[in-house]
A and B are shown apart, each in its own frame.
Chain A
Amino acid sequence: MTLADAANLHTFVDAFRFIGDNFGFLLGKAAEQLELSGAAVGIALFVALPLGIVLGHLHRGSGIAIGASIVGRALPSLVLIAAFLTLLGIGFVNNMVALAVLATGPILTNSFDAVDRVDPDAVDAARGMGMTGTQILRQIELPLALPLLFAGLRVAAVTVVATAPIAAVAGGGGLGDIIVNQASYRLAGVLGASICVMILSAVVFLGLLGLQAAVTPAGVRRHRFLGTSLEGSPE
């Protein structure tokens, strides 16, 4: 083992020691970060989910959905956070709005896709049975769309939780406060907080995957469980 390796090992040992010594403090910071992320995803859901579902049900506005995904991806989180800081001032609100904008893209695109791509034969059959549009939406399209709807929520939530530390440069609070303040917490603290952020994101990802499994009807479960988890489907 070279000297450099030993130094690295020490840094990580120190980082884990920092986590052990400041567990309560880190937990509080993580809660702060989840609060900010939850508020942002909540706003995005409130705006984008109904819009995406209705557009998908009507099979209209694919341009809006595709445009939202392209523009959403092209907007760097740092740019959004900085721009909203100049508009709304430093603190919770500007970060919440910036992160909500970030979450809107994946939720809108996936909810549109989810409902738009429901098997047309299933919808035709339902219509043949005399179901109204609302009944079709509630009893056929939404259950079948669940996996993709959740994929959108998952991408949005993980993106927001992962981005929230960056908001620390604009008074965001949370674990990012430690990451951007190496002068106070030293590399061990920064690294410890980074490890906590990684764990937090993974927990959110797995938690939503579990929730999805719990609420997905058994008949739908087999197909496309992971959905487009990376937004990576061509187009």
Chain B
Amino acid sequence: MTLGKGPPVVIPNFGQGSSCVRGDHTLCWSWVRDHWHDTLGPALVQHIELTAIAVGIGFALAFALALAAHRVRRIEQPVGIIAALLYTIPSLALFQFLIPFTGLTWTTVEIALVSYTLVILFPNIVAGLQSASPDVLEAARGMGLTRMQTLLRVELPLAVPAIIGGLRVAVVSTISIATIAAFLLPDGLGYPIFLALKDPTPFKTEIYSAGVLAVALALVCDAALMLLRRTLAPWARRRLA
């Protein structure tokens, strides 16, 4: 069940809940327990979906673009500057800017989120692909590897640490920016916070529980990717730590 559809969920639930909820104490576990199934749980799942779609599409696009830039080196610098400028566009403003075209939909949110992941991932993947030293490339050519073989067997494996480094920033940033989607949609972990803020006396537990979930999600994803890098590229550990 999602918020905003079906029977209305009254939040904050002053008057009906426990004394903790009525008194708006710092953190009411009873509220968290009672509203895990209708508020926090669904919001967490939606948040993961928003993030996964954005990073998935963004990674595919960034990878394709980076391979192109790797071939045609001249486009790297201008694309890098455009990317830095694009990143300065505030998320809330970008969402509003897209509304006339795609409305109050997931599409609007995803277009914005994908743009941001693209901007983060592209420079990282390009830098990763170019991290192979000229000596290594010459050795590859000397061994008779074709360009494609060099890319697949030498340049891509060497790019893994940089690519995963970019993914970490992209995933964590996307989780953070996805909370802003609540200004448009009744979805994601930002929405309970957004609702609470609309109340003259914001319900603390709702803000803290959703906020802690968002931060925890980001930190868990970050740690998981760090672990992935250590597994895939153990050699990078000493150099980059």
Using CB atoms and an 8 Å cutoff, list the residues of chain A in contact with chain B: 7-8, 11-12, 70-71, 73-79, 82-83, 85-86, 158, 161-163, 165-166, 169-170, 176, 179-180, 187, 190-191, 194-195, 197-198, 201-202, 204-205, 226, 229-235
Closest to A203 in B: B88
Question: Which of A71, A166, A201, A233 contacts B89, CB < 8 Å?
Answer: A201
Which among B85, B93, B119, B162 has the greatest number of chain A C-beta atoms within 10 A? B93
Interfacial chain B residues near A205, Cβ < 8 Å? 84-85, 88
Q: Is B28 an interface residue (CB 8 A)?
A: no
Closest to A155 in B: B87
Interfacial chain B residues near A166, Cβ < 8 Å? 92, 180, 183
Within 8 A of A (CB), among B187-215: 190, 193-194, 196-198, 202, 204, 207-208, 210-211, 214-215
Q: Is the CB of B172 within 8 A of A176?
A: no
**With contact pairs A7-B100, A82-B207 given, residues A234 and B90 touching in the complex (Cβ less than 8 Å):** no
Alpha-carbon distance A78/B90, docked complex (angstroms): 13
**With contact pairs A166-B180, A231-B169 given, residues A78 and B190 touching in the complex (Cβ less than 8 Å):** yes
Secondary structure at the A interface, as helix, strand, loop or mixed, is helix
Q: Is the CB of B207 within 8 A of A235?
A: no
Alpha-carbon distance A205/B190, docked complex (angstroms): 27
- Kindly list the 7 A-B residue pairs having the minimum CB-CB distance in the complex, ordered from nearest: A234-B165, A162-B90, A74-B218, A79-B211, A194-B93, A194-B96, A76-B176
**With contact pairs A158-B88, A187-B99, A187-B100 given, residues A79 and B240 touching in the complex (Cβ less than 8 Å):** no
Closest to A12 in B: B100
Q: Is the CB of A234 within 8 A of B89?
A: no
How many residues on the B side are at the interface (Cβ–Cβ under 8 A)?
Answer: 58
Using CB atoms and an 8 Å cutoff, list the residues of chain B in contact with chain A: 80-81, 83-85, 87-94, 96-97, 99-101, 119-120, 123-124, 127-128, 161-162, 164-166, 169, 172-173, 175-177, 179-180, 182-183, 190, 193-194, 196-198, 202, 204, 207-208, 210-211, 214-215, 218-219, 222, 240-241
Alpha-carbon distance A155/B172, docked complex (angstroms): 16
Question: Which of B172, B180, B219 contacts A78, CB < 8 Å?
Answer: B180
Q: Is the CB of A73 within 8 A of B124?
A: no
Q: Is the CB of B119 within 8 A of A230?
A: yes
Interfacial chain A residues near B208, Cβ < 8 Å? 83, 86
Alpha-carbon distance A74/B89, docked complex (angstroms): 19
Interfacial chain A residues near B84, Cβ < 8 Å? 205, 226, 229-230
Q: Is the CB of B92 within 8 A of A234?
A: no
Interfacial chain A residues near B164, Cβ < 8 Å? 234
Interfacial chain B residues near A191, Cβ < 8 Å? 96-97, 99-100
**Can you spell out 28 A-B residue pairs with CB atoms less than 8 angstroms apart?**
A73-B176, A74-B218, A74-B222, A76-B175, A76-B211, A78-B190, A78-B193, A79-B193, A85-B197, A85-B202, A86-B208, A161-B90, A162-B89, A165-B90, A165-B93, A169-B194, A180-B183, A187-B99, A187-B100, A190-B96, A191-B96, A201-B88, A202-B88, A226-B80, A230-B83, A232-B120, A233-B165, A234-B128
Q: Is the CB of B179 within 8 A of A201?
A: no
Alpha-carbon distance A158/B90, docked complex (angstroms): 9
Interfacial chain B residues near A86, Cβ < 8 Å? 202, 204, 207-208
